[in-house]
Amino acid sequence: MRFETVEQHNKEINKRGFVGYEGKLVITFRDRKKVTFTIHYGEYGQRSQDPHFSTSAQEFNRNRTDYDSCGQAQQSLLKNKDLKTFFEKWDKFHLSKLNFKQYDELIKDIDNLKQTIPYIESDNFTDIVQFDRQYS
């Protein structure tokens, strides 16, 4: 089904019991030097595409001009125990819509990570490079 506006799409998604694009979030945590972990929900693509949850891990090359490894590399890249635990818990929801209860739990888990792990609310490459350098 194709919608004319994001608002129409959100209304339909919410009616089905799921969090729509109003729940959009992007946050990148620093696992360690040159390794980051990004969480997304509600990235807007096509008007016919429902929002979804996803995570990815990235490792910069030596000069931070590109990634040596990225995407679904969480198992091999993540060393931080809390990030790894988060990933293991939430991986089963990868590319899925979240209902309101799941979304609330996701936000609580993210808030817990924010207490102890450096983060930036962006997935922009340049922003993440500057963020990582800040902690190196």
pLDDT of residue 61: 95
119-120 and 25-32: which strand pairing? antiparallel
pLDDT of residue 88: 97
Closest to 6 in 3D by CA, of 46, 64, 38, 35: 46
Instruction: List the domain boundaries for the chain.
Output: 6-134
What global pTM score does this model have? 0.90
pLDDT of residue 22: 82
Closest to 19 in 3D by CA, of 134, 133, 104: 104
pLDDT of residue 83: 98
pLDDT of residue 20: 83
pLDDT of residue 2: 66
Helical packing angle, 81-90 and 100-114, nearest 10° = 170
Sequential pLDDT tens for the chain (136 residues):
667 777 888 888 888 888 887 888 999 999 999 999 999 998 755 556 778 899 999 999 999 999 999 999 999 999 999 999 999 999 999 999 999 999 999 999 999 999 999 999 999 999 999 999 999 8
Distance CA 22, CA 45 (A): 14
Distance CA 98, CA 33 (A): 31
Residue 100 backbone phi and psi in degrees, to 5: -65, -40
Task: Name the DSSP letter for residue 99.
Answer: B
